[in-house]
Structure 1
C-alpha cells in the first residue's frame, strides 16, 4: 500500500492542498466547518499521517528538543533525562538525549548537529568548562541561537550569560559545610569535582566561605578533587585520609564521589559516622541505599528537566530560575560531643 500524501487527501476531499494544510496545522485562518469536517473524514478514511520531517522543513524549527548530558549512565543525568523526555512527550515534542562522555569537543559537536536538525531548543545538563576556547565557542553558539530564535536553557553554570534553571552551587557547598560545623565538626575535608568545571568551582567556594565564616583555619591539605564518579571519590578519599588523619568529616561535591569515599573510609578500617562523617550534594536514588544511608543536599533533578522543557516551549522571555534546596538527613553524619 503506497504512502498517502497530503495531495491524495486534497484530491479526495475536493479542496486545495493549502486548505488541508491549514486544517492539519490548525492555523489561524477561517475554514468552513463543513469543509473541515469533510477533510478530517478523508484523513481518517485514508489513514493519513502528516510527514513531520517535511513539516519541519517548512517551519523555522522542528518539534524536537535536544538534551546534552555528560554521562547518561550517571543517575544525576538520568533523572534529568526522565524529566525532560516525559515532559516533552506530554507536550507533543520529541526529545533527543546526546551523551558527550564529558568531552567538550563532543559537546560542541552535538550543538552543531542539533542546530542542523532545527530543534526547538537545547538543554545543557552539565556545568560548563573553564576553558577559554570552549567558552568562546559556546558563547558564539548562544548568540547565534538567540539571533534566530532557537531556545537554550542551562541546568548548571556555564561561565557565560545564558538562560538557566538550576540550583545555586555556591550555596550548596556552603550549606553542607555549615551543617557539619553546626554539629561540632572543625576538621573537615572536601572532595570537589573536576577543577575546571564551574559547578565544582562554585561548590568549593561555598565550602571555603562557610569555613571562613565559622573562624575555622583553612587547610589546603584537607582539600582534593576528583571526577564526578565513585572511583574518583574512592581514590581521592584514600589520598585525603593519608594526609588528614585527624579529619572528623568529609564534604563531597556530589553523591557518586561520596559513595566512593565511603568505601575508602571503610577500607581504611573506620566506621561511618562513628569515626568520620560524610555529607554530599545531589540526593540521587542510590544515596538512600548506601551503608549507612547518605545525608545529602537534595537537587530536584526531575523537576529541573521538566521546567527546562516548559521554558523552551512556553516562555517567551529569557529565564533565570534558581531552585531551592534542602538537606535530607539520613545516618552518615554524627553530632560531636561538646
Structure 2
C-alpha cells in the first residue's frame, strides 16, 4: 500500500516531510531523524523499519537544512590514493553499494599517496560536514608521515564523526585489514613449490605499510624454505603500471638469471608483462609473473595473471558498514582473508 501525504495550501500534493515519516512509522520525530541519519540511540530493527517507511513514502531528506542547522549530511567521505587504480575503484564500488542501501551518498577524494593531500582532503570533508570518513589505502611505516592527518581525524572523531580505515594505519578507529602478510606467504610458497629459487620482487614505495607487510610475508616464506631473503632483489618503483615497467627493466638488466617476478600489486604486474612481451621473453616458459589483489582485468591479460585475490569490493562495503553502525567501546577490526588465483602467467622454472 502506498503511503500518501496531504495537499499543500495551493491544493497540490506536497512531498512527504520527516514528520510524516515519523507519524507513519509510529515513532517520535527525534527517533525518525536519528534512524534516517544513521545516528546512535536507535536499534537496527527500528532503523530499518523507519527507512522502509521513508522509502515507501518517497521521502527525500534535505541535506542543506541539516548542514545549515549545524548538523551533518548523510554523506560519507571516501579518501583513496588513486581512483583510476582498479584496486580503489573496486573498493569504491562496495562502499557505494552499502551507502545506497542506507540512503547515504559517497564523496570520493583523491590524494595521489601524498600525506599533505590527505590532510587537505580530510579538512575539506569536515568543512562539508560529512557524516563519516573512510580512508582507503596503505598507512605509512613512519608514523610522522601521517601524524597531521591523524590528528585531524582524531579531532573529527572527538566531535562525533565516525572514521574507518582500510589498511594498516597508526590510528585508533575501526579498520578493515587486508590480508597482506599472509597473502605474501601464499604467493611466495606457490612459486617456491614450482621450483623457483631465483626470484625478484617489483615493489612499490618502501614507506607504505602495504609494501612492508607483503614483503614480510614473502620473506617469511623464503626463510622457511631455506632461501635467504637478502638473496632476492627488491626493486622499488611507483605502485603503478609504469612503476612495474621500470622495475622489470632493471631486473632484466641487473639480475638476468631471474626466473620469476613477484609484483606487489596487479597494476605493477601489468607493466611487468608488457616489458616481457616487448622483449620477447616468453611467459611462463622463461619467466613466471605473479601479482597481488586480483583486479578485474587480471584474468583478461595475456597470459592471464596468477595473483592473490583480496575481496576489494567487500572491503569497501565493510568499512562503510562500520561507520554507519553505532560507535563501539573499542575499535573494531575485520580481517579480509585471501585466495590464490593460479592462471597462465606462472609455471616451473626453465630447464
Identify if the C-alpha distance between structure 1 residues 207 and 221 changes in structure 2 by more than 3 Å, giving closer, same or farther: closer
Distance in 2 (alpha carbons) for counterparts of 1:30 and 1:149:
21
Q: Does 1:321 align with 2:331?
A: no
**CA displacement at 1:118 relative to structure 2:** 2.1
Given the alignment of the two structures, is residue 245 of structure 1 paired with residue 244 of structure 2, yes or no?
no
Number of residue pairs the alignment of both structures matches: 309
Displacement of 1:56 in angstroms is 3.4
Check 1:250–1:115 CA distance in 2 against 1; reply closer, same or farther (3 A cut): same
Question: 1:61 and 1:176 mapped to 2: Cα distance?
Answer: 44
> For residues 314 and 82 of structure 1, do their structure 2 counterparts lie closer, same or farther at Cα, with a shift above 3 Å needed?
same
- Equivalent residue in structure 2 for 1:151, among 159, 162, 170: 162
SS at match of 1:269: coil
Residue ranges of structure 2 left out of the alignment (5+ in a row): 1-6, 12-16, 31-57
Answer yes or no: is the 8 Å Cα contact 1:56–1:62 preserved in 2.
Answer: yes
Shift of 1:172: 1.7
> SS of 1:115's equivalent?
helix
User: Could you tell me how far 1:200 is from its partner in structure 2?
Assistant: 0.9
Go from structure 1 to structure 2 and tell me whether the alpha carbon gap of 1:48 and 1:313 turns closer, same or farther (over 3 Å shift): closer
Q: Tell me: CA distance 1:236–1:50, structure 2 relative to 1, closer, same or farther (3 Å).
A: closer
- Helix, strand or coil for the counterpart of 1:260? helix
- TM-score normalised by length of structure 1: 0.84
Match of 2:127 among 91, 116, 126: 116
TM-fit CA distance, 1:120: 1.6
253-262 vs 264-273, greater mean Cα deviation: 264-273
SS of 1:154's equivalent in the other structure is strand
Q: For the Cα contact (< 8 Å) 1:100–1:106, is it kept in 2?
A: yes
SS class of match (2:94): helix
2:28 aligns with: 29
Q: CA deviation at 1:139?
A: 2.6
SS in 1 for 2:133: strand
Unpaired segments ≥5 residues, structure 1: 1-7, 14-19, 32-46
Moved more, 259-268 or 273-282: 259-268
In the alignment, the residues of structure 2 paired with residue 49 and residue 323 of structure 1 have an alpha-carbon distance, to the nearest angstrom, of: 35
Query: What does the per-residue CA deviation read over 1:213-256, in whole Å, with 9 as the maximum and x for residues that have no partner?
Result: 11112335621111111111001111012121111111110001
> Structure 1's 168 and 280: CA in aligned 2 closer, same or farther, altered over 3 A?
same
Q: Which residue of 2 aligns with 1:254?
A: 265
Which residues in structure 2 correspond to 1:39-54 (within 5 Å)? 51-54=62-65
Query: CA–CA distance in 2 between the matches of 1:336 and 1:265?
Result: 16
CA shift digits 1:104-161 (9 cap, x unpaired):
2111111011112221211111112344543221331232133222111111112344
Aligned to 1:141: 152
3-state DSSP of counterpart to 2:109: strand
Provide the residue aligned with 1:188 in structure 2.
199
Q: Name 2:186's counterpart in structure 1.
A: 175
Q: Provide the rounded CA distance (Å) in 1 between the counterparts of 2:125 and 2:113.
A: 18
How far, CA to CA, are the matches of 1:49 and 1:280 in structure 2? 44
2:205 and 2:283 map into 1 onto residues whose CA distance is 25
Cα 1:159–1:239 change in 2 (3 A) is farther
Per-residue displacement from partner, 1:173-208 (whole Å, max 9, x unpaired)? 221111111111111111111111111111111111
How large is the Cα RMSD of the aligned pairs?
2.6
Mapped to 2, the partners of 1:205 and 1:235 lie a distance apart of 23
> Does residue 1:270 correspond to 2:281, yes or no?
yes
CA contact (8 A) 2:165 2:175 kept: yes
Structure number with bigger Rg: 1
Q: Distance in 2 between matches of 1:311 and 1:49?
A: 24
| Distance change >3 Å, CA 118–CA 246, structure 1 → 2 | same
